[in-house]
Amino acid sequence: MNFELSEEQRAIQDMARAFAEEHFLPNASEWDQKEIFPASELRLAAELGLAGIYTSEDVGGAGLGRLEAAIIFEELSAACPSTAAYLSIHNMVAWMIDTFANDQLRRRFLPDIAKMSKMTSYCLTEPGSGSDAVSLTTQARKEGNSHFILNGSKSFISGGSTSDVYAVMCRTGESGANGISCLLVEAGTEGLSFGAKEKKMGWNTQHTAAVHFDNCLVPIDNLVGNEGDGFKIAMAGLDGGRVNIAACSIGGARKALELAKSYSKERKQFGKQLADFQSIQFKLADMATELDASRLMLHRAASSIDEGAPDAIMHCAMAKKWATEACSKICNDALQIHGGYGYLKDFGIEKIVRDLRVHEILEGTNEIMQLIIARRILN
């Protein structure tokens, strides 16, 4: 087992870090406070291949692996976890289309998605079905041989009202997982509407809203894979999404640890630096250890996907659960080290705390990660 990055991976890491420090970091606080969706900066990221990291090169993607993606998302999220997380979702949708759609659909959508001239959203969660995704009720009924008629609602959709393509999991058959399909719904479709922009604790650089379908006429040609493949597609997308979200937690926590270390060397209390107090030293040591353990689990999970390992699903669930929880604690501890200053927006810590908290909920709650792990070890 090699714990060192290759020369190519280090070059990718350096590129992502330089881009994030130039384009994300100086703007992240303003984007957060004014709830700005940074579309132009995201399109600059797309010019570097970051909107189709593990999408095939023949449709404009970078053709990299999941480990390279994890490296990239750690660097981007060290500058702005919220913006990096939206890019993660966009990459997930691109991969789903690339992997499961027919060639005609791939070539129709993916070049624009890879350039982010078309933004994407992943639509699985519904008001009445969160963790219990199999019970979703959004329905697509065939109208002749050319269209589906789509009715229902999706909730908590990142990019809701701002995206151009919505990957919608909907029921085309009987109850249960085998009756779910995946349709691509394009912005401007008649009957497509959106709820008000949600006011959230964090993730303010990406707009979240409910998405409603009222007799939307969707071409049958927009079906990804076959009818009944939707749940399989959704879950496969989430495996990679969990790795990406773990990476976003690690990047945010790494930045929080860096800020805490710097502050502990600058701030003096009782006549000496905070860093000279053993209680602070031990806290920083635990934070660094938890961060390193999170990254090791993340890289194993990403490599498991790349290698098609039998335990890849479990490794992804483990990495997502461990990293999101450990990194939230790291950020909270970093805020504690800052004392009252950590509670102020000027110091940057509180934004990271807010952005990372939702990572324990999305891409499958961490309680669902426990179920996935338990089922695997008891199988």
Residue ranges covered by each domain of the chain: 7-115, 120-230, 235-378
pTM equals 0.95
Q: 34-67 burial, b if ≥16 CB within 10 A, otherwise e?
A: eeebbeebbebbbeebbbbbbbbeebbbbebbbb
Domain at 7-115, CATH from 1.10.540.10, 1.50.10.10, 1.10.150.120, 3.40.1440.10: 1.10.540.10
Residue showing tokens 């890879």: 114
Closest CA to 336 of 256, 273, 277: 256
Judging by beta carbons within 10 Å of its beta carbon (0-12, 13-18, 19+), is residue 267 exposed, middle or buried?
Answer: middle
The yes-or-no verdict on residue 1 having pLDDT over 80 is no
pLDDT at 97: 98
pLDDT at 129: 84
* Average confidence score pLDDT of the chain: 96
CATH 1.20.140.10 fits 235-378, yes or no: yes
pLDDT at 3: 86
CB 72 within 8 A of CB 12: yes
Closest CA to 125 of 378, 338, 362, 371: 362
pLDDT band at 144 (very low <50, low <70, confident <90, very high): confident
- Quote the CA–CA distance of 186 and 199 in Å, as a whole number: 25
pLDDT at 280: 97
pLDDT band at 162 (very low <50, low <70, confident <90, very high): very high
211 DSSP β-pair partners: 154, 194
Mean pLDDT of 115-128: 96
CATH 2.40.110.10 fits 120-230, yes or no: yes
Which phi and psi (to 5°) does residue 44 adopt?
A: -65, -40
The yes-or-no verdict on residue 133 having pLDDT over 90 is no
C-alpha Rg value of the chain to the nearest Å: 21
Tens digit of pLDDT for each residue in 193-218?
A: 999 999 999 999 999 999 999 999 99
pLDDT band at 2 (very low <50, low <70, confident <90, very high): confident
In single-letter form, the type of residue at position 49 comes to G
Catalytic member of 68, 74, 350, 363: 363
Active site residue 350: no
Mean pLDDT of 270-295: 97
pLDDT band at 379 (very low <50, low <70, confident <90, very high): confident
pLDDT at 302: 97
122, HSE (Cβ side, Cα atoms, 13 Å): 25
Give the whole-number percent of the chain exceeding pLDDT 70.
100
Domains 7-115 and 235-378 share a fold: no
pLDDT at 131: 83
Mean pLDDT of 90-94: 97
Mean pLDDT of 125-134: 88
Tens digit of pLDDT for each residue in 17-64?
A: 999 999 999 999 999 999 999 999 999 999 999 999 999 999 999 999
Give the whole-number percent of the chain exceeding pLDDT 90.
95
Task: Provide the pairing of β-strand 268-269 with 139-143.
Answer: unpaired
Mean pLDDT of 1-7: 87
151 DSSP β-pair partners: 139
The yes-or-no verdict on residue 221 having pLDDT over 80 is yes
pLDDT at 143: 87
CB 204 within 8 A of CB 32: yes
In single-letter form, the type of residue at position 252 comes to G
Q: 320-336 burial, b if ≥16 CB within 10 A, otherwise e?
A: bbbbbbbbbebbbbbbe
Per residue, what are the HEC states of the chain?
A: CCCCCCHHHHHHHHHHHHHHHHHHCCCHHHHHHHCCCCHHHHHHHHHCCCCCCCCCHHHCCCCCCHHHHHHHHHHHHHHCHHHHHHHHHHHHHHHHHHHHCCHHHHHHHHHHHHHCCCCEEEECCECCECCCHHHCCCEEEEECCCEEEEEEEEEEEECCCCCCEEEEEEECCCCCHHHEEEEEEECCCCCEEECCCCCCCCCCCCCEEEEEEEEEEEEHHHEECCCCCHHHHHHHHHHHHHHHHHHHHHHHHHHHHHHHHHHHHHCEECCEEHHHCHHHHHHHHHHHHHHHHHHHHHHHHHHHHHHCCCCHHHHHHHHHHHHHHHHHHHHHHHHHHHHHHHHCHHHCHHHHHHHHHHHHCCCCCHHHHHHHHHHHHHC
